Amino acid sequence: MTMDNANSSNGENVVFAKQLKGGAVPATRYLMNSQRGSNNVLLLSIASDSLQEINYYYDSTYQSNHPFELVFDISFNGEIGTLSFGGDNFDINISSYKNRQISGTFSGKLSSTPDYNKRGNLVITEGVFNGIPVIY
């Protein structure tokens, strides 16, 4: 799945936004929202007061201990997956964060919900984001 920030006029966009702690957000986080049409969406978050050029790793145990802090959801051609069952994980590597733009890679293993028999069935490999604007 490829999503391009340059095509927002046709329902395709990618943005990183900083959300400050407060109200419904229990911790400061950075939320990436990427979309191509209505059936292809990727949401991911990094719990941090300030982004660093490091690897962020989250698994289902972290998610269950911080249920309202993180978001890891994907919808690909209508199939929805999330970080929910044991063994699910998500890796985000920030390789560059300069001039309000972020680049890096991501990978993970998510489960189709709510079907326990489909746990770990959505595998994300070679995920890349380049020069995505960060909104404060």
pLDDT for 2: 64
By three-state DSSP, how is residue 39 classified?
coil
pLDDT for 54: 96
- 0.85 surpassed by pTM: no
Q: Which residue segment(s) compose the domain that 15 sits in? A: 5-135
Query: What is the count of structural domains for the chain?
Result: 1
- What tokens were used for 125? 């490999």
Angle at 132 between CA 76 and CA 81, to 5 degrees: 20
Ranges of the chain with pLDDT below 70: 1-9
Q: How far apart are the first and last CA of the chain?
A: 27
* Strand partners of residue 91: 57, 107
